[in-house]
Amino acid sequence: IKKIQIAFDEPVYEEDLNLKGIFKISKVGRVFTIITDEYDDEFIKGLNKFKPLFIEEVDLSLEDIFIYKVDKE
């Protein structure tokens, strides 16, 4: 499970980011925060087709981990 932040220069919508493995997605301005359990080369390739300004891995909070575990069951 990984939490990443990604920003795009061009308009991108949550519906566009229908990649396999996305558990939760939120958006503030042009920055998306994505929680995924499929953070591999295929996932990154899917994000790169939208030409991101940056992709950064950030720390998961205990709340993020708890919600992920509860919703998976």
**CATH number, residue 10:** 3.30.70
DSSP string, the chain: -EEEEEEESS---GGG---TTEEEEEEETTEEEEEES--SHHHHHHHHTT-EEEEEEEPPPHHHHHHHHHHH-
Give the pLDDT of residue 73: 65
Q: Which residues contact 28 (CB under 8 A, 6 or more apart)?
A: none
Mean pLDDT of 34-60: 92
Report the domain count for the chain.
1
Range of the domain at 20: 2-72
Give the pLDDT of residue 31: 93
Inform me whether the pLDDT recorded for 71 exceeds 90: no
